[in-house]
C-alpha cells in the first residue's frame, strides 16, 4: 500500500474482503462475545474492558500541520503539531496492521440536523467498538444508507502500538487528525471515547465556518417547548441534570447552535456510571440494557449484575446507549434557540453558590474559565487537596481553534436570543472536599427547575461578596442556608480564606485571555 495515496489506503481498507459493513446491533453483540472481546451483563449490556487506558489520552493527540491548518489551529499543548510526512508513514503502518484482519465498518452521521450533519465512516478492528459508535452517532435510516458518502474517516487500531522513536509520538498511543485528507488515526488505546471525542474535535474545526457554534453541553426541552443548555466538564452533572423526567432530552454531551436552533451532534449518550443507582438517576439506569455498551464496569461474579459502586478498574466507568433508550427523548435531536444556559461546576472547594444568575459579562468570563475541580485520589499525582481545573469553553481539549472564536460566537447568540445564563455548583457545600458534603442531586434539580420554569424570576436576589455573584434568597425544595455558600460553612473565616484562594486562581488562569475590561472585571477579585 506504500505507493497509494492516503485516501486510496483508506478506500482499500474500507472495501477489503474481511470488512463487515454496517452490521446491526444483535450481530455486533454476538460477534463481540464470540471473539472474546466482551461479556454480557445480566441486564443485557455488553461489557468491555479497555486495559491500562481507561480514559482519554490528551497528551497523545496530534493535528497535522500543513497549509490548511498552519495559520488557523491554536497550536500548543492541546493541539500538538505533526508533519504530513509523519502522518502518512504512520497511516501506512496502521494500514499494514489492519490489512487482512477482520474489520468492522459503520457509516454514520455526526449531527441530527440534515443541513449541518457530517457523514462519517468508522473502521475498527473490534466488534464492540463498532457497536459503540453505532449507538453513539446518528444512524442513517434505510432510505439514506445507499446515499451515505463519508466526508471523514476514523481508523481505529487499538492493538497497533506506536514506536515513539520511529513514529514521533510520545507513547505507544496516538490520536492524529488530518483535516486536509479528512482522516483520523487512533491506535494504542482501547478506550472508545477517543473515537467519539476525535469527531467532536473535527466538528469544532469545521462547523464554525458554517456559522454553527459547537458546544460541549447537554440539551433538553420543557413542556413549553423552551430549550435549555447545560455546559460542564466531566463529572459536573451534564448528563444527570439534562436527563430530567419532566423534560425531553435532546442530547447529553455535544451540540451545535445554528441559525435555526440547537441540534445534537450525536445519536446516543455516554454517561458516567460510577455509583449509579436507579433511585438517583432512573432514566440513565433504565437505559442500560441490551444494545448498550459498558466500559470498565465490574460484574458480580455470581449474578452477572453490574456493580456500579466498584471503581477498582477506574472511576471513569461509562455507559453508551442510543438516545432513544431515554424516555421522552427528542428524535431527531433538534430544538429551538435556548432560553436558559447553565454552566455547571463541581466546586470541590465548596465556595461557589448552588446557583447564581450571571450578567452577560459574567457569562463570558465563566465560559472562558470553564471551571470545575479535580478531587484528591481520583488521578495519579493529586495530593490531599482539591485541584482547580480550568478548561476554556468547557471543552479546551477538543478545541482546534482559539477559545475566543467560540466565546464570541456564544456571546453573540446569548445577546441575540435573550438567553438567561446561570452558574450552578454541583460540587461541595459547607466546606471543601473532605470537610463539607456533596450537593444533593435533589437540591440541584430543584434549583435548575426553578430557573428553567421562571420561578426564580420572582425571587429577590442578593450579591455574595467573594465572587460578586447574584444569588436567590429562597427556592422551593432547597433550605435557605444552602443558597449562600458562606452561611453553609461553620467556620466563616475558613470560608473567606478558601474563597480568596480560589478567586486568585481564577484571576491567574484568566490572564491568558485578551478580552474587554468589562469581561475581565466580571470575575472574582482575590483579596489579600
Calculate Rg over the CA atoms of the chain: 23
**pLDDT, position 141:** 85
Confidence band, pLDDT 50/70/90 cuts, at residue 4 = low
The DSSP letter of residue 522 is T
pLDDT at 251 over 90: yes
Backbone conformation region of residue 393, classed left if phi is above 0, alpha if psi is from -120 to 50, else beta: left
Whether the CB-CB separation of 287 and 249 falls below 8 Å is answered with: no
**pLDDT, position 526:** 60
Instruction: Give the residue-averaged pLDDT of 180-189.
Output: 97
- Which residue(s) pair with 373 in the sheet? 388
Do 144 and 285 lie in a common domain? no
Do 371 and 452 lie in a common domain? yes
**pLDDT, position 147:** 79
CA 426 vs. chain centroid, Å, equals 17
How high is the mean pLDDT of the chain? 93
pLDDT > 70: percent of the chain:
96
Q: Which DSSP helix (H) or strand (E) runs through 319?
A: strand 318-322
Do 68 and 171 lie in a common domain? yes
Q: Which DSSP helix (H) or strand (E) runs through 143?
A: helix 142-145
d(CA 340, CA 228): 5
Do 316 and 413 lie in a common domain? no
pLDDT at 86 over 50: yes
Output phi, psi for 408, to 5 deg: -65, -40
The DSSP letter of residue 114 is T
Do 121 and 171 lie in a common domain? yes
Strands 80-82, 338-345: parallel, antiparallel or unpaired by DSSP?
Answer: unpaired
Where do we find the cell 441540534? Answer: 263
Do 479 and 345 lie in a common domain? yes
Do 319 and 437 lie in a common domain? no
CA 305 vs. chain centroid, Å, equals 27
CATH number of the domain bearing residue 274: 2.170.8.10
pLDDT at 390 over 90: yes
Whether the CB-CB separation of 251 and 333 falls below 8 Å is answered with: yes
d(CA 243, CA 237): 10
Q: Which of 28-42, 102-116, 310-324, 365-379 has the lowest mean pLDDT?
A: 365-379
1 within some domain: no
**pLDDT, position 527:** 52
276 within some domain: yes
CATH number of the domain bearing residue 110: 3.40.449.10
d(CA 503, CA 527): 8
**pLDDT, position 17:** 83
Chain segment 7-45, per-residue pLDDT in tens = 888 888 888 789 999 999 999 999 999 999 999 999 999
Per-position b or e across 193-208, b if 16+ CB within 10 A of its CB: bbbbbbbbbbbbbbbb
CATH number of the domain bearing residue 504: 3.90.228.20
Q: Which of 320-334, 383-397, 446-460 has the lowest mean pLDDT?
A: 383-397
More confident residue, 8 or 496: 496
Total domains in the fold of the chain: 3
Do 183 and 275 lie in a common domain? no
Whether the CB-CB separation of 179 and 87 falls below 8 Å is answered with: no
Instruction: Give the residue-averaged pLDDT of 252-258.
Output: 96
**pLDDT, position 204:** 98
> Last residue of a domain, which of 141, 176, 210?
210
d(CA 342, CA 232): 8
Looking from the CA of 259 toward its CB, the CA atoms found within 13 Å total: 5
Do 320 and 346 lie in a common domain? no
Per-position b or e across 222-245, b if 16+ CB within 10 A of its CB: beeebbbbbbbbbbbbbbbbbbbe
Instruction: Give the residue-averaged pLDDT of 329-340.
Output: 97
**pLDDT, position 400:** 98
Catalytically annotated residues: 56, 197, 216, 234, 238-239, 253, 318
d(CA 211, CA 162): 37
Instruction: Give the residue-averaged pLDDT of 208-236.
Output: 95
Sequence-ordered list of residues with C-beta below 8 angstroms from that of 393, at least 6 positions apart, any chain: 215, 216, 367, 368, 370, 399, 403, 406, 407, 410
359 within some domain: yes
Do 449 and 386 lie in a common domain? yes
**pLDDT, position 376:** 46
219 within some domain: no
d(CA 310, CA 102): 33
**pLDDT, position 243:** 84
> Last residue of a domain, which of 185, 210, 235?
210
223 within some domain: no
**pLDDT, position 384:** 59
Q: What is the residue range of 386's domain?
A: 337-520
CA 240-241-242 angle, 5° bins = 95
d(CA 472, CA 470): 7
> Last residue of a domain, which of 260, 295, 325?
325
246 within some domain: no
Do 358 and 456 lie in a common domain? yes
474 within some domain: yes
309 within some domain: yes
Residue 279: count of CB within 10 angstroms of its CB:
7
Do 375 and 309 lie in a common domain? no
pLDDT > 90: percent of the chain:
88
Amino acid at each position: 500500500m506504500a505507493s497509494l495515496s492516503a485516501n486510496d489506503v483508506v478506500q482499500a481498507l474500507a472495501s477489503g474482503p474481511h470488512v463487515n459493513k454496517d452490521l446491526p446491533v444483535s450481530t455486533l453483540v454476538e460477534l463481540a462475545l464470540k471473539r472474546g472481546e466482551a461479556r454480557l451483563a445480566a441486564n443485557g449490556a455488553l461489557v468491555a474492558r479497555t486495559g491500562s487506558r481507561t480514559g482519554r489520552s490528551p497528551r497523545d493527540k496530534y493535528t497535522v500541520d500543513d497549509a490548511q491548518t498552519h495559520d488557523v489551529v491554536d497550536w500548543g499543548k492541546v493541539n500538538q503539531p505533526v508533519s504530513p510526512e509523519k502522518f502518512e508513514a504512520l497511516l501506512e503502518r496502521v494500514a499494514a496492521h489492519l490489512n487482512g484482519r477482520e474489520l468492522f465498518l459503520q457509516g454514520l452521521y455526526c449531527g441530527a440536523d440534515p443541513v449541518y450533519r457530517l457523514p462519517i465512516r468508522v473502521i475498527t478492528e473490534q466488534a464492540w467498538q463498532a457497536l459503540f459508535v453505532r449507538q453513539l452517532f446518528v444512524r442513517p435510516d434505510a432510505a439514506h444508507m445507499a446515499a451515505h458518502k463519508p466526508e471523514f474517516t476514523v481508523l481505529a487500531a487499538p492493538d497497533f502500538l506506536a514506536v515513539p522513536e520511529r513514529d514521533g509520538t510520545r507513547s505507544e498511543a496516538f490520536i492524529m487528525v488530518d483535516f486536509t485528507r479528512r482522516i483520523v488515526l487512533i491506535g494504542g488505546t482501547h478506550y472508545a471515547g477517543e473515537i467519539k471525542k476525535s469527531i467532536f474535535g473535527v466538528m469544532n474545526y469545521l462547523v464554525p465556518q458554517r456559522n454553527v457554534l459547537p458546544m460541549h453541553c447537554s440539551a433538553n426541552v420543557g413542556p413549553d417547548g423552551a430549550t435549555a443548555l447545560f455546559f460542564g466538564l466531566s463529572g459536573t452533572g451534564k448528563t444527570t441534570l439534562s436527563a430530567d423526567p419532566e423534560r425531553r432530552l435532546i442530547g447529553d454531551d455535544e451540540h451545535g447552535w445554528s441559525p435555526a436552533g440547537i441540534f445534537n451532534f450525536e445519536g446516543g449518550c455516554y454517561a458516567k456510571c460510577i455509583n449509579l443507582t436507579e433511585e438517583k438517576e432512573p432514566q440513565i439506569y433504565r437505559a442500560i440494557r441490551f444494545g448498550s455498551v459498558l466500559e470498565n464496569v465490574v460484574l458480580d461474579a455470581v449474578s452477572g449484575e453490574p456493580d456500579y459502586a466498584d471503581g477498582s478498574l477506574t472511576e471513569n466507568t461509562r455507559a453508551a446507549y442510543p438516545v432513544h433508550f431515554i424516555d421522552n427523548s427528542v428524535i431527531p435531536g433538534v430544538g429551538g434557540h435556548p432560553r436558559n444556559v447553565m454552566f455547571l461546576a463541581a466546586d470541590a472547594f465548596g465556595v461557589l453558590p448552588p446557583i447564581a444568575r450571571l450578567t452577560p459579562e459574567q457569562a463570558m468570563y465563566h465560559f472562558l474559565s470553564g471551571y470545575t475541580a479535580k478531587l484528591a485520589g481520583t488521578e495519579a499525582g493529586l495530593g490531599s487537596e482539591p485541584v482547580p481545573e480550568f478548561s476554556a469553553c468547557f471543552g479546551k481539549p477538543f478545541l482546534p481553534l482559539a477559545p475566543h472564536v467560540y466565546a464570541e460566537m456564544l456571546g453573540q447568540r446569548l445577546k441575540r436570543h435573550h438567553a438567561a445564563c446561570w452558574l450552578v455548583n454541583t460540587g461541595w457545600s459547607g466546606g471543601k472536599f473532605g470537610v463539607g458534603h456533596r450537593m444533593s442531586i435533589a437540591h440541584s434539580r430543584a434549583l435548575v427547575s426553578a430557573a428553567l420554569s421562571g420561578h426564580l424570576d420572582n425571587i429577590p436576589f442578593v450579591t455574595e461578596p467573594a465572587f460578586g455573584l447574584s444569588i436567590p434568597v429562597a427556592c422551593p425544595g432547597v433550605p435557605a442556608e444552602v443558597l449562600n455558600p458562606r452561611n453553609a460553612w461553620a467556620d466563616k473565616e475558613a470560608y473567606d480564606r478558601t474563597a480568596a484562594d480560589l478567586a486568585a486562581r481564577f484571576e491567574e488562569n484568566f490572564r491568558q485571555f485578551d478580552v474587554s475590561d468589562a469581561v475581565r472585571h466580571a470575575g472574582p477579585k482575590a483579596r489579600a
